[in-house]
Amino acid sequence: MSLRAEPVICLLLVLTTLAGCLGSDTPTETPDTDGSALTSVFERNLLPFNVTSSYSHTLAGGLYNILEPLSIDVPVALPLDEGGAAITQDAKVHMGLWLPDVPEGTKVPVVADIGPYYSDGDVDATTPARRLGGFLIENLVPQGYAVAQVSVFGTGQANHCMDLMGLSEQLGIDAAVTYLGTQDWSNGNVGLIGRSYDGSTPWQAAMFGNEHLKTIVPISGLIGMHELMWRNGSAEFRGPIMHNVVYGTFGIDSADVNAFAILGGDATKAVTVNEFDEDDLDTLCKDYALGPAVGAAAYATGDWAAPEVNDYWKERYFLDRALANYKGSVYFIHGLQDWNVDPHMAFPAYQQLQGKGIEVKGLFGQWNHMYPDRPSEHVNAGEGRGREAFPESVRFDWAQDLLEWFDHYLMGTGTKPPLHAEVQDNQGAWRIEATYPPTDATWNLIKLSEGELVQGAGPTGDPVVKPASNTLGFEESGEPVVYTFPGFDNDTRIVGTPRFHATVTPTGPGGQLFAELVDKTDGLRLGHAVMDLRFADGGNTMKPVTPGKAIVAKMEFEAFDVLLPAGHELELRISATGEDYLPAAVSDPVIIDPAESVLKLSTIERGAEAFFTPPAWDVCTHPDMVSRAGNNENFAKRLNEDHGCAF
């Protein structure tokens, strides 16, 4: 998608216990030497992968030709109170479907990408999409898979409302899964895959426990709408008006191009603008009126608040019902530098699924809101946000990895893939973990008073976090509070979700803390945490803040995985807001107690046997890099400086 939806969306959006895990997180997998199993990830760098394309490819081409796409409407029964096309009972979702030219009587599994962008900013559903569909069709249909591109309600050629992940959309997704699993040509097994919005529809499907849904591959997907835009009561600035301002417009033809352009798409490739017509009356549904109200209420309180607001967000929370009903497998994919759909969408959900006995695999690299295998995306990473891990971040073995996953869970013929997490640290190295975050981490506790306060002292000498001066922006009325700490004696691997438990005294009825951890020696950003003090214990329930009464803000960092070189100093920067979070709706200066505030760093040690090297590729000769360098002098200079190219 573009739920943060690529950089420019933000302008508009203002818009454990683990089942089956061994006691150690050290991998037990060894390279296959007798050919009886899949080629181990430790040996893939020896295989002849295509590393010169714009994305990854399977090792071997398939046997089958690709038939012409079919355009299919799937009828959906909706409750009358959903409004729109539910009233006339002619609601439908639409799909483009590609089948392999297999011998008559052969039944094939289905892989589908379901989302809102077909015709609304990308190609129509019967044309291979630039985002993912073309990749799936090219790689999987020749291997004997059907591939579907499905439009959710209110988008593309589907009718009804753009329900923004509400009940109508969920029922439409489930109907599409049932359709694909019950056709004469289908073997009954359906898998869903997609990124961002399209990575959230698999979670919606999983809620139903549909017998045909055998696996999901959510790439930076949402486990819930409120969870996307609020973190510990703190709101992203797209949160308050997400529904109607952006995604709701997809149901109205005249807004399609402009909405997608603001979402960060390529407006030059968008569909032609049409005038509002009578078909757009299908979009008049109840949640269009509720959307702005719940956004405003959630920003004011950070909470699910009143019953009608609670119902809106509860309807759009997927993980609880997926945990209760889903019987398939999950291949989690998430960028550890993704601040569009933050990593807390994957953690602790990864371990919660394992705890339910669901078969789970993970791929967690140092990329932003991206696919794992696109050099043209990964090369754009900034310093401290994935640049140091490039080009090793690009996984040209991903298509093969997906094929092996689908062969087992959908085709029913392949060897069971290893159920582990493949994790990349900020310096580019890949390793295997049994789960993530690792369960064998050591917690290092560092009091703020053990560091040096170098900035942010108030009139009495106490560190004071001041609120933002502009409630609609991010300027602050003072510099951040900054502490520095001596480095570790040895190279130190800080992983998972470190914590900052800050004992603070609010001077008013509210406040917000944004903490950022930095490698001071290199100046590289490591990770961040945010919390509205009304949610100091975490969760979704607001508690009053009493001026002058100390509280402990139990902040947890978004998951990160960094290697801190020996001797490198750490810096903790504490302010009232950061990244793309709004200033708190209720915000006052906050006084920190350094003696009672603790930075908790989770660290692990791993031997060489845990690490592997993906298929290597040459940045300086890759066609995409060469073409871009030829057209962009600054880009060429960067490749020369970073990778020793000679452009």
Question: CATH number of the domain that 592 lies in?
Answer: 2.60.120.260
Which of residues 433, 459, 482 is at a domain's end? 433
**216 and 272 in one domain?**
yes
Give the separation between CA 341 and CA 205, rounded to whole angstroms.
19
The mean pLDDT of the chain is 87
Lowest mean pLDDT among 1-15, 78-92, 256-270, 516-530: 1-15
Amino acid 295 reads G
**254 and 379 in one domain?**
yes
DSSP letters along 60-120, please?
S--S-PBPPPEEEEEE----GGG-THHHHT--EEEEEEE-B-PPTT--EEEEEEEES-BTT
**148 and 97 in one domain?**
yes
- Could you tell me the CATH number of the domain that includes residue 74? 3.40.50.1820
Average pLDDT score over residue span 456-465: 91
Q: Is residue 249 over pLDDT 70?
A: no
- Asked if residue 632 is part of any domain, the answer here is no
Residues whose CB falls within 8 Å of the CB of residue 347, separated by 6 or more in sequence, listed in order: 436, 437, 496, 497, 559
In this predicted model, what pLDDT tens digit does every residue of 593-646 receive, in sequence order? 999 999 999 999 999 999 999 999 999 999 999 999 999 999 999 999 999 999
Site of tokens 């609601």: 91
- Asked if residue 574 is part of any domain, the answer here is yes
Tell me the helices (H) and strands (E) count for the chain, helix number first.
16, 26
**452 and 414 in one domain?**
no
- pLDDT bracket for residue 298 (50, 70, 90): confident
**304 and 452 in one domain?**
no
- Asked if residue 525 is part of any domain, the answer here is yes
- Asked if residue 316 is part of any domain, the answer here is yes
Give the separation between CA 602 and CA 572, rounded to whole angstroms.
16
**299 and 202 in one domain?**
yes
- Asked if residue 622 is part of any domain, the answer here is no
Q: Is residue 456 over pLDDT 90?
A: yes
**324 and 180 in one domain?**
yes
Helix (H) or strand (E) holding 551: strand 551-556
Q: Is residue 256 over pLDDT 80?
A: no
Work out the percent of the chain whose per-residue pLDDT is above 90.
Answer: 73
- Asked if residue 554 is part of any domain, the answer here is yes
Counting the structural domains of the chain, the total is 2
* Distances in whole angstroms, Cα of residue 553 to Cα of each of 350, 446, 590: 25, 16, 11
Is 581 in a helix, a strand, or coil? strand
Which of residues 404, 433, 462 is at a domain's end? 433
Q: From start to end of 448-496, where are the E strands?
A: 452-455, 464-465, 481-485, 492-496
Parallel/antiparallel/unpaired status of strands 430-433 and 452-455: unpaired
**237 and 110 in one domain?**
yes
Taking a C-beta distance cutoff of 8 angstroms, is the pair 363, 395 a contact? yes
**563 and 538 in one domain?**
yes
**182 and 69 in one domain?**
yes
Which of residues 433, 461, 495 is at a domain's end? 433
The pLDDT score that the predictor gives to residue 246 is: 62
Q: Is residue 278 over pLDDT 60?
A: no
**227 and 103 in one domain?**
yes
- pLDDT bracket for residue 243 (50, 70, 90): low
In this predicted model, what pLDDT tens digit does every residue of 187-200 receive, in sequence order? 999 999 999 999 99
- pLDDT bracket for residue 258 (50, 70, 90): very low
- Asked if residue 643 is part of any domain, the answer here is no
Q: Which residue segment(s) compose the domain that 592 sits in?
A: 442-604
User: DSSP assignment, residue 342?
Assistant: -
**511 and 410 in one domain?**
no
In this predicted model, what pLDDT tens digit does every residue of 148-204 receive, in sequence order? 999 999 899 999 988 899 999 999 999 999 999 999 999 999 999 999 999 999 999
Q: Is residue 270 over pLDDT 60?
A: no
In this predicted model, what pLDDT tens digit does every residue of 42-71 receive, in sequence order? 999 999 999 999 999 999 999 999 999 999
- Asked if residue 34 is part of any domain, the answer here is yes
The pLDDT score that the predictor gives to residue 284 is: 64
